[in-house]
């Protein structure tokens, strides 16, 4: 048996181990009313932040004005990726983030809920 042995059928599927066990993460892109536009599946161990650009690029050919995301997507690279596409990023900063700007679009972010 090879050390890289994988169970049949799992190598190309969005399955993986996370703290909660064997699972799949659904990264969902919605409109402002919460209606689904597109989704991206990853294994449970995958980082949210690394999938942000994929979410920006998938789905119908529309140009959003803002990207509302939770703290899991907090990264300079994600904010810059949104700005490069002329999208306003409304992603809250984690408590341990060193460089926090004075302005955060709270009113826009409240629409996420």
Q: Where in the chain are the domains?
A: 16-110
* Residue 111 tokens, joined: 């629409």
For 29, list phi and psi in degrees, rounded to 5: -105, 125
User: Which segment of 1-10, 51-60, 90-99 scores lowest on mean pLDDT?
Assistant: 1-10
- The mean predicted confidence, pLDDT, of the chain is 82
| Alpha helices in the chain, H assignment, sequence order | 52-57, 76-84, 106-110
Please report which helix (H) or strand (E) contains residue 42, including its range.
Answer: strand 36-43
Rounded to two decimals, what is the model's pTM? 0.74
Predicted local confidence at residue 1, as pLDDT? 47
Percent of the chain with pLDDT over 90: 35
59-109 pLDDT, tens digit per residue, is 898 888 999 998 989 999 999 999 999 999 999 999 988 888 888 888 888
Hey, what long-range contacts does 72-81 have (CB within 8 A, 24 or more apart)? 72/47, 72/48, 73/48, 73/49, 74/49, 75/49, 77/49, 78/49, 78/52, 78/53, 81/52, 81/53, 81/56
Predicted local confidence at residue 52, as pLDDT? 92
- Identify which of 93, 40, 31 has the alpha carbon closest to the alpha carbon of residue 63: 31
Q: Is the pLDDT of residue 113 over 80?
A: no
């Amino acid at each position: 048996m090879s050390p890289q042995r994988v169970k049949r059928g799992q190598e190309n599927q969005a399955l993986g181990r996370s703290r909660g066990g064997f699972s799949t993460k659904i990264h969902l892109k919605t409109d402002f009313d919460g209606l689904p536009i597109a989704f991206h599946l990853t294994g449970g161990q995958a980082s949210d932040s690394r999938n942000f650009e994929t979410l920006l690029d998938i789905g119908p050919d529309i140009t959003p004005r803002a990207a509302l995301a939770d703290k899991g997507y907090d990264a300079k690279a994600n904010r810059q990726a949104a700005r490069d596409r002329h999208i306003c990023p409304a992603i809250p900063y984690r408590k341990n983030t060193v460089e926090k700007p004075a302005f955060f679009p709270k009113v826009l972010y409240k629409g996420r809920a």
